[in-house]
Amino acid sequence: MKIAVLGGDGYCGWATALYLSKQGHSVAIVDNFSRRQWDHELGAQTLTPISPLSDRLRVWHRLTGKSIELFVGDVTDHDFLSSTIRSFEPDTVVHFAEQRSAPYSMIDRKHAVFTQVNNVVGTLNLLFALRELRPDCHLVKLGTMGEYGTPNIDIEEGYIRIVHNGREDVVPFPKQPGSYYHLSKVHDSHNIMFACKIWGLRATDLNQGVVYGTVTEEVALDEALINRFDYDEVFGTVLNRFCVQAAIGQPLTVYGKGGQTRGFLDIRDTVRCIELACLNPAKSGECRVYNQFTEQFSVLDIAHLVERAGRKLGINVEIDHIPDPRVELESHYYNARHSKLIDLGLTPHLLSESLLDSLVNIAIRYRDRVDASLMMPQVNWREPRNDRRLQVNMTARASLAGARQDERTTETKTRKS
Amino acid sequence: MKIAVLGGDGYCGWATALYLSKQGHSVAIVDNFSRRQWDHELGAQTLTPISPLSDRLRVWHRLTGKSIELFVGDVTDHDFLSSTIRSFEPDTVVHFAEQRSAPYSMIDRKHAVFTQVNNVVGTLNLLFALRELRPDCHLVKLGTMGEYGTPNIDIEEGYIRIVHNGREDVVPFPKQPGSYYHLSKVHDSHNIMFACKIWGLRATDLNQGVVYGTVTEEVALDEALINRFDYDEVFGTVLNRFCVQAAIGQPLTVYGKGGQTRGFLDIRDTVRCIELACLNPAKSGECRVYNQFTEQFSVLDIAHLVERAGRKLGINVEIDHIPDPRVELESHYYNARHSKLIDLGLTPHLLSESLLDSLVNIAIRYRDRVDASLMMPQVNWREPRNDRRLQVNMTARASLAGARQDERTTETKTRKS
């Protein structure tokens, strides 16, 4: 199967591209390196030292004999996207090519507008390009569980049967997203549903939970294939961040009570879910929605798991409750279905002690690369303008912190002597 | 009360600005004349000869002694919008400043993207400007009944109580909009709801039905104050178009079976609803939704009403069923609540024979300005690209058509003689 992975240089995209290539699919990556650019903007870096994409692809080819095609450009540029679709002729497009951080979208007006325009226009361009050039191509679109918010009823997979005043209908599940980013995904979902209806396109909207982990079988083959591991307050997902905080002896920063419950999944399940969606395409005109996660945890649950894993490794982990920078319920009902991907054959990698050990170990291994100033939240949902400034007054590298400590000790010693 | 009317040079905006000014409010119009520009693009003109806005405002001042302030600019330009809000300091912002035609948004990709970016960014800019500069200002936003689509259950006003698996919650009413334009309004609704939640803004989202009529008490004062009367396939609303077709002896173009049922209202009720919303502001943090229409009709109902009105005026009206250019159900359940504005004091002007007479009479009065080539649909929802071309081969003006007819008759006569 010919599969184009839009956003294939990002965290989920890279793991997915390699996995699909490994399974024998003919894969193309479409990317404009926005994700790397945002790191520069934020003064952040992935914990793991990722290679340039050209190196990644060369090493993948050398190790496996498999070629991944590369199209460099922006999906909001319709000419570029059309010519890519025309040239590669995909059977499936997996669309990860969006700005995917909630805090990034909440920095200020410009970031909110950028996120919504970037995501909505990219997806609209793709819908039009498919309609015009590949109407039978299956669109696998990454949504988010955050589209639903935290309603007081069970969350279904995309649609809900409502009985109301003696009549009934199956309608899209009501959406209550919690950031301008999550809103952009809701906008996408509505646009995609409509395009399937009027043009008979086929789409699978995957409402993904919070992804953790970094190692898949493929990226483990070589250091040059290593995947991102984001731990900063803007792009870092919560479990990854907690592991890094544990590794450098910083307290885990739980927002508020930590009762915020979300769906989580291992990145090894992300890639398998994508494959399952590709192998079982939606019907023409169908906009199918799957909830893509394997387990529910509260943020505090996650913190306790990391605390326990740290203890086993001889690290004393503290848990801090800091004011929640987001506007969200800190304790609420949460029960979301997630059976459709299981029905298609997903065997989940549940969050295990061994996985937690390995995550903390990765954090320890790259401890020297940690910038401890990046983990305290600087983006407050309540403010329309958050001036994120590089905390130059804070010790940056954990390693430097150690070095400085040594220096100071030496100084004191010198003075004393 | 200081009220800024964004889009105050448009159809609903102009009537609203005058009405609010008449009631003694201090009104400012904010507009960039996009609506007039789109007429140029489409080769269309309002049936009624509207004056330039500067003339309109001068005449209004001369007749009533009331000044309406004018800010010329684009709400997608945040600097302009901020400085306008800062300078005028509104208590209420009535936001009509969006691209409001479904067919326009369905012309092609560029028009779809333009519509969504224009509408979404304008509204985002406004939300940020209010949060930063006038957090207590009440936002009265024009939505559309088309956001709901045509579900098989009763449509509530914005929110619905759902009982599901033994639990219950009140959630946003599920949205199934039928064009990229209607989708843009759904995107807005989600964004506004979120901004109210995180920032405590106060908003009223008015999901308006199809507006008909052109004369309000204020615009009737002088020919220079006359309002738009759009009848073309892109911006014309159905009742106005049918009246024009009747007036020039063209069959009424009913799309498909004509069973499409929608909510309708008189423009005199539009302006009163806006005033009621302004006078009864939402609470801080509240995003209130009202369904703004007074009666439900199917398209075929409307056609029959015009047929009857025509007969009374001695015009023989034919009804044509042409293929529906839209993707929509041609017969369906439709029952939408609309009691909240009534509860606030709205006394509806129901669609009466006298109103229909007056509409057909306006169409007859301006018959010479009718371009008969503008009423057949040229935008097909099923196509991703609709080349709307000026139908230069079609007789344009009804008056010219008459003239030519005379010519031809003369010719024939001449030949015969």
Confidence of residue B388 (pLDDT cuts 50, 70, 90): confident
CA distance A2 to A88: 8
Compute φ and ψ for B264, nearest 5 degrees: -125, 155
State the helix-helix crossing angle for A11-22 and A53-64, rounded to 10 degrees.
20
Length of chain A: 417
By percentage, how much of chain A surpasses pLDDT 70?
93
- With CB atoms and an 8 Å threshold, state whether B121 touches A121: no
pLDDT number for residue A6? 98
Give the distance from residue B43's alpha carbon to the nearest chain A alpha carbon, in angstroms: 26
For residues B92-118, average pLDDT: 98
ipTM score assigned to the predicted complex = 0.94
pLDDT (tens digit, 9 = 90+) per residue, B299-345?
Answer: 999 999 999 999 999 999 999 999 999 999 999 999 999 999 999 99
What does the angle CA A180 – CA A183 – CA A184 come to, to the nearest 5 degrees? 90
Torsion-angle region of A267 (φ positive above 0: left; ψ -120 to 50: alpha; else: beta): alpha
- Bridge partners, residue A337, by sequence: none
- With CB atoms and an 8 Å threshold, state whether B176 touches A171: yes
- With CB atoms and an 8 Å threshold, state whether A168 touches B152: yes
3-state secondary structure of B293: coil
DSSP A225: G
Tokens 């009864």 belong to: B280
CB contacts < 8 A (A, B)? 148
Of A125, A154, A187, the CB nearest to B164: A154
| Residue ranges with strand state E in A7-126 | 26-31, 69-72, 92-95
Residue closest to B5 by CA, chosen among B76, B88, B83: B88
**Which amino acid does the sequence have at A57?**
L
pLDDT (tens digit, 9 = 90+) per residue, B213-229?
Answer: 999 999 999 999 999 99
Distance of CA B227 to the CA centre of its chain: 12
Average pLDDT of every residue of chain B: 94
Per CB-CB distance under 8 Å, the chain B contacts of A173 are 174
Compute φ and ψ for B196, nearest 5 degrees: -65, -40
Per CB-CB distance under 8 Å, the chain A contacts of B176 are 171-172, 193
pLDDT number for residue B397? 55
For residues B148-176, average pLDDT: 98
Q: Is A181 a catalytic residue?
A: yes
Confidence of residue A388 (pLDDT cuts 50, 70, 90): confident
Q: Is B270 a catalytic residue?
A: no
- DSSP code per residue over B245-258: HHHTTPPEEEETT-
**Pairing relation of β-strands A202-208 and A138-144?**
parallel
Assign 3-class secondary structure to A311-339: HHCCCCCCEEEECCCCCCCCCCCCCECCC
pLDDT number for residue A394? 56
Structure tokens, B172: 């946003």
For B112, the closest chain A residue by CA position comes to A124
CA distance B310 to B316: 6
CA distance B384 to A194: 13
Torsion of CA B213, B95, B281, B208, to 10 degrees: 40
Q: Specify whether the CB–CB gap between B297 and B252 falls below 8 A.
A: no
CA distance B241 to B258: 14
pLDDT of residue B364 exceeding 50, the answer is: yes
By percentage, how much of chain A surpasses pLDDT 90?
93
pLDDT of residue B405 exceeding 60, the answer is: no
- With CB atoms and an 8 Å threshold, state whether A120 touches B121: no
CB half-sphere exposure, B226, CA atoms < 13 A = 13
Confidence of residue A395 (pLDDT cuts 50, 70, 90): low
- With CB atoms and an 8 Å threshold, state whether A113 touches B131: no
Residue closest to B3 by CA, chosen among B409, B371, B279: B279
For B326, the closest chain A residue by CA position comes to A198
Confidence of residue A397 (pLDDT cuts 50, 70, 90): low
- Alpha carbon distances (Å) from A1 to A23, A129, B380: 10, 19, 33
Which DSSP helix (H) or strand (E) runs through B93? strand B92-95
CA distance B387 to B375: 15
pLDDT (tens digit, 9 = 90+) per residue, A222-273?
Answer: 999 999 999 999 999 999 999 999 999 999 999 999 999 999 999 999 999 9
Structure tokens, B300: 């075929």
By percentage, how much of chain B surpasses pLDDT 70?
93
Per CB-CB distance under 8 Å, the chain A contacts of B193 are 176
Q: Which of A48, A84, A92, A185 is catalytic?
A: A185
Distance of CA A225 to the CA centre of its chain: 18
What does the angle CA B298 – CA B304 – CA B306 come to, to the nearest 5 degrees? 110
Per CB-CB distance under 8 Å, the chain A contacts of B80 are none
Q: Which of B46, B76, B144, B253 is catalytic?
A: B144
Tokens 């400043």 belong to: B97
By percentage, how much of chain B surpasses pLDDT 90?
93
For residues B178-193, average pLDDT: 98
pLDDT of residue B97 exceeding 60, the answer is: yes
Of A162, A168, A172, the CB nearest to B175: A172
Q: Which of A11, A104, A180, A181 is catalytic?
A: A181
Per CB-CB distance under 8 Å, the chain B contacts of A112 are 124, 128
pLDDT (tens digit, 9 = 90+) per residue, B335-349?
Answer: 999 999 999 999 999
Q: Which of A108, A194, A335 to mutate to test the interface with B (most CBs of B within 10 A)?
A: A194
pLDDT (tens digit, 9 = 90+) per residue, B49-69?
Answer: 999 999 999 999 999 999 999
Residue closest to A162 by CA, chosen among B174, B33, B224: B174
Compute φ and ψ for A18, nearest 5 degrees: -65, -45
CA distance A119 to A97: 8
For B124, the closest chain A residue by CA position comes to A113
pLDDT (tens digit, 9 = 90+) per residue, A144-163?
Answer: 999 999 999 999 999 999 99
- With CB atoms and an 8 Å threshold, state whether A169 touches B153: yes
pLDDT (tens digit, 9 = 90+) per residue, B244-299?
Answer: 999 999 999 999 999 999 999 999 999 999 999 999 999 999 999 999 999 999 99
Of B167, B169, B174, the CB nearest to A172: B174
pLDDT (tens digit, 9 = 90+) per residue, A82-93?
Answer: 999 999 999 999
Average pLDDT of every residue of chain A: 94
For residues B227-237, average pLDDT: 96
For B155, the closest chain A residue by CA position comes to A164
- With CB atoms and an 8 Å threshold, state whether B382 touches A173: no
Structural Rg of chain A based on CA atoms: 22
Q: Is A185 a catalytic residue?
A: yes
Q: Helices marked H in A106-216 — which ranges?
A: 109-133, 180-199
Structure tokens, A281: 């395409």
Give the distance from residue A387's alpha carbon to the nearest chain B alpha carbon, in angstroms: 14
Structure tokens, B215: 């004369």
pLDDT number for residue A319? 98
For residues A325-353, average pLDDT: 97
DSSP A275: H
Residue closest to B229 by CA, chosen among B62, B79, B370, B400: B370
Structure tokens, A7: 């956003």
CA distance B36 to B235: 11
